[in-house]
Amino acid sequence: MAKAKIQAPKGVSEYVPPRSAAFEFVREALITPARKAGYQMIELPVFEDTELFTRGVGESTDVVSKEMYTFEDRGGRSITLRPEGTAGVMRAVIEHGLDRGQLPSKLWYSGAFFRAERPQAGRYRQFYQVGIEAIGLDDPAIDAEVIAIADAGFKAIGLRKYRLDITSLGDAQSRAAHRVDLVKYIAGLNLDEATQLRAALNPLRLFDDKRPEIQKAMQDAPLLLDYLSENSKKHFDQVKTYLDVLGISYTLNPRMVRGLDYYTGTTFEFVHELLGAQSGIGGGGRYDGLMSELGGQELSGIGFGLGVDRALLAAEAEEVIDSQSFVSDLFIIPLGEAAKQKALTIAATIRAAGKTVEIAFGDRALKGAMKGADKSGARYVVVLGDSEIASATVELKEMKSGATSSVKIDSLISAL
């Protein structure tokens, strides 16, 4: 009896050909602007001490209270698969003393993250982010630059149908003043016990509650943006000025609540028009208390996490990815042993010049090999037999048009 097949765990995103090429393209497009702005790569473990997230991300959040993959390892330690990247980056910055050198410390990362959410289109239990963190500077210009780097990534993919929401959560003084009035307001509402508990941990969470009755109840709640201190207001005004200078348009959204508790000051989210319920393709903001919360010095920071899975879905919805750009430049079909050897050396030379070359191995008959070339989507194909080797000339066939031309083997690179 055939053995039962094993399937991937529920709700994970995975990418296999041909779609994996588009995924790779999207991820590269999101990373490149960060590299160009001088951010350096950081590669961190996908599991960390659970306390990093309970302390760093906050116990009032869904991410920590409901969605963490937490388990005991063989040494009896509580371990959690990283639900996000910022806390881990801060842990590493403190541990490796990256905050003792030139500031800001500017880092980018890319990898898998884990949240035990209810799976649906665009929401996965293992998903991918590209993120950056700039630590140690509270110049509002860096806030604008961080936002611009995310925007440049989305633009490089070709996305157009998205908007940028921004707000400010202010400094400690602003939040304390707002909290007094917000708590008063919430006390006047008729809430169930679980919601009251959430509100006690972080009253801002109620703005993010998806239930219509709560949304309605929160309609007249005091907004943090109206409580900004002189300093916070000035900082946020400057961020907006720099965004204007950069020509990046934004929508002020004072009701925006990010799903993580460490945010302070400037916060933002990129929202795509065609993605339905899971429309957030990226988000981030300042987290001026996180470093000290994790035992480091008092340093400010700002960053973002961009959803690679969702950016790919958005690109597919907008039909902006040209799958033609992922195919090989040349497909060589060798006929016979001498041709096979020649094909190997030709391919090596052309690949060294930066082109993509495939060879049809397996001594298949010409017809079958041609089918393989067609399936691969390669731009050009050549058949290499004894006469081609003798004349050092091949017929270069453009697959799309079917047009052929005689080309010296030495000139193949320029002909491509």
Stretch that binds ligand HAM, among 226-234, 277-285, 292-300, 327-335 (CB under 6 A): 277-285
Size of the site for ligand HAM (CB under 6 A): 25
- Give the residue with the Cβ less far from ligand HAM, 162 or 380: 162
Nearer to ligand HAM, 87 or 321 (CB): 87
Distance CA(265)–CA(287), nearest Å, equals 8
Q: Find the shortest distance in angstroms from Cβ 278 to ligand HAM.
A: 7
The residue range among 129-137, 155-163, 236-244, 326-334 that interacts with ligand HAM, by the rule CB under 6 A, is 129-137
- Residue selected from 284, 291, 313, 314 as contacting ligand HAM according to rule CB under 6 A: 284
Contact status: 282 vs ligand HAM (CB under 6 A): yes
Site map (CB under 6 A) of ligand HAM, residues 370-399, x = contact: ------------------------------
Q: Of the candidates 275, 323, 12, 259, which has an alpha carbon nearest to the alpha carbon of residue 159?
A: 275
* Cα 69 to Cα 47, 162, 196, distances in angstroms: 9, 31, 26
Q: How many CA atoms lie within 13 A of 107 on its CB side?
A: 23
Task: Give the shortest CB-109-to-ligand HAM separation in angstroms.
Answer: 9
d(C-alpha 29, C-alpha 32), whole Å: 6
283 belongs to the binding site for ligand HAM (CB under 6 A):
yes
CB 178, CB 222: distance < 8 Å: yes
Contact residues for 81 (Cβ-Cβ < 8 A; gap 6+):
46, 47, 68, 69, 70, 114
The answer to whether the Cα torsion of 272, 275, 278, 281 is positive or negative is negative
Member of 27, 115, 178, 397 binding ligand HAM (CB under 6 A): 115
Q: Residue 321: which residues within 8 A CB-CB, separation 6 or more? A: 22, 25, 26, 157, 158, 315
Assess contact for 350 and 331: CB atoms under 8 A. Answer: no
Site string for ligand HAM, 303-322 (x = CB under 6 A): xxx-x-xx------------
Closest by CA position to 286, among listed 268, 301, 304: 301
Which is closer to ligand HAM, CB of 111 or CB of 372? 111
Binding site for ligand HAM (CB under 6 A): 84-86, 115, 117, 123-124, 127, 129, 131, 133, 259-260, 280-285, 303-305, 307, 309-310
